[in-house]
Amino acid sequence: MESDDGDADGANASEADVTGTDLPEAQTDGEGYVRDQPGGGGHDENLGGISTPPDDEEMPLADHIEEMILRLAVVFLFGAAGTAIGLLGASPAIDYIWQNVLPATLEAPPHVYHPLELWLTRIKVAALLGILVGLPMFVYQCYLFMRPGLYPNERKYYLSAVPMSLVLAVVGMGISFVLVLPILFRYFTYYSEGSAGIAYALGETFNLIITLTGFLAIVFQIPLFIMLAIMMGVTTRRWLADKRLYFWAGFFGLSFMFTIDPTLMAPIIVGILMIALFEGTLLLLRWTGQE
């Protein structure tokens, strides 16, 4: 009995020693993962076999929504500033577009049918500069919003997309003015010449011009988004190629939704351009050996 009592007292003493020892406090990374003790690695080490970005941290959903709204507000402010600056040159731009987009055989001046039509048209034309300013700012604000969850190499890819977004928007608007709009207005004029006197209204004409030009500036971001998605590992070229028919259907759906034209000429041209951008990007990726 005395031996048993001695063993029990020894066990209790050992347990007291263990509980009384100053062990280092376990640290977590905010996701329930207990970080290794000194010498065992940091937050950017493997987490259950999956590595985590160095600045990744949990935030309440309300904070995410608030940050997203603030970043969108910054985009709109930059777009509004670009539109305000564009108003300074809106009138010469209207004259230039009218003379170069409409067929040369059409000598009739634009017709104004209500008092605010000219001013509203100036604002719409100035909004094209707002789109040019707003698109790269939108890409940059998306980068800042996603930055904590991105790896360093992904941040590099995303930052390089900001100037590329501006370049693609300018190319899209240029294609609209040089190719798409002249073809459309020649077509409109051709099927109307024999049956009616042609007198294009300023407001309605520029509604079509601005809608189509702004939409093409956005459409020409397709190669950029595909490249980013593949570089960041979101998808692969092979998967996009396998699902191409779904993308084609989606492109035509979007073109018919945003380029309203009873003759169907405008949405067909835009849909073909979207498919050409998609397929051209996949072809370029295949040529560079990207799978």
What are 134-177's pLDDT values in tens digits?
988 998 888 888 887 777 777 877 787 788 888 999 999 999 98
Task: Please state whether the predicted TM-score (pTM) of the whole model is above 0.85.
Answer: no
Q: Is residue 199 part of a domain?
A: yes
The pLDDT of 243-252, averaged and rounded, is 93
Block residue for tokens 């294609």: 175
Q: Is residue 181 part of a domain?
A: yes
The reported pLDDT for the residue numbered 246 is 94
Q: Is residue 265 part of a domain?
A: yes
Confidence of residue 14 (pLDDT cuts 50, 70, 90): very low
Q: Is residue 16 part of a domain?
A: no
The pLDDT of 102-123, averaged and rounded, is 80
The reported pLDDT for the residue numbered 152 is 78
The pLDDT of 119-133, averaged and rounded, is 91
- pLDDT at residue 74 above 90? yes
The reported pLDDT for the residue numbered 48 is 47
The reported pLDDT for the residue numbered 31 is 38
Structural domain of residue 208, as residue ranges?
61-287
Give residue-wise pLDDT tens across range 41-66. 444 444 444 566 666 667 777 877 88
The reported pLDDT for the residue numbered 9 is 52
Q: Is residue 53 part of a domain?
A: no
Bridge partners, residue 124, by sequence: none
Query: b/e for 210-228, b at 16 or more Cβ within 10 A?
Result: bbbbbbbbbbbbbbbebbb
Confidence of residue 121 (pLDDT cuts 50, 70, 90): very high
Give residue-wise pLDDT tens across range 174-222. 999 888 888 888 887 777 666 666 677 888 888 888 888 989 998 999 9
Q: Are 267 and 255 in contact (CB under 8 A)?
A: yes
The DSSP code sequence of the chain is -HHHHHHHHHHHHHHHHHHHS-PPPPEE-SSSPEEPPTTS--TTSEETTEE--TT-----HHHHHHHHHHHHHHHHHHHHHHHHHHGGGHHHHHHHHHHHHS-TT--PPPB--STTHHHHHHHHHHHHHHHHHHHHHHHHHHHHHHGGGS-HHHHHHHHHHHHHHHHHHHHHHHHIIIIIHHHHHHHHHHHHHTTS----BHHHHHHHHHHHHHHHHHHTTHHHHHHHHHHTTS--HHHHHHTHHHHHHHHHHHHHHHS--TTSHHHHHHHHHHHHHHHHHHHHHHHTT--
Give the CA-trace dihedral at 267, 163, 177, 201, to 10 degrees: 80
User: How many domains is the chain partitioned into structurally?
Assistant: 1
How far is the C-alpha of 185 from the C-alpha of 176, rounded, in Å? 12
Question: What is the pLDDT of the chain when averaged over all its residues?
Answer: 78
Q: Are 231 and 151 in contact (CB under 8 A)?
A: no
How far is the C-alpha of 137 from the C-alpha of 133, rounded, in Å? 7
- pLDDT at residue 8 above 70? no
Give the CA-trace dihedral at 228, 232, 233, 236, to 10 degrees: 20
Residue that wins the pLDDT comparison between 216 and 13: 216
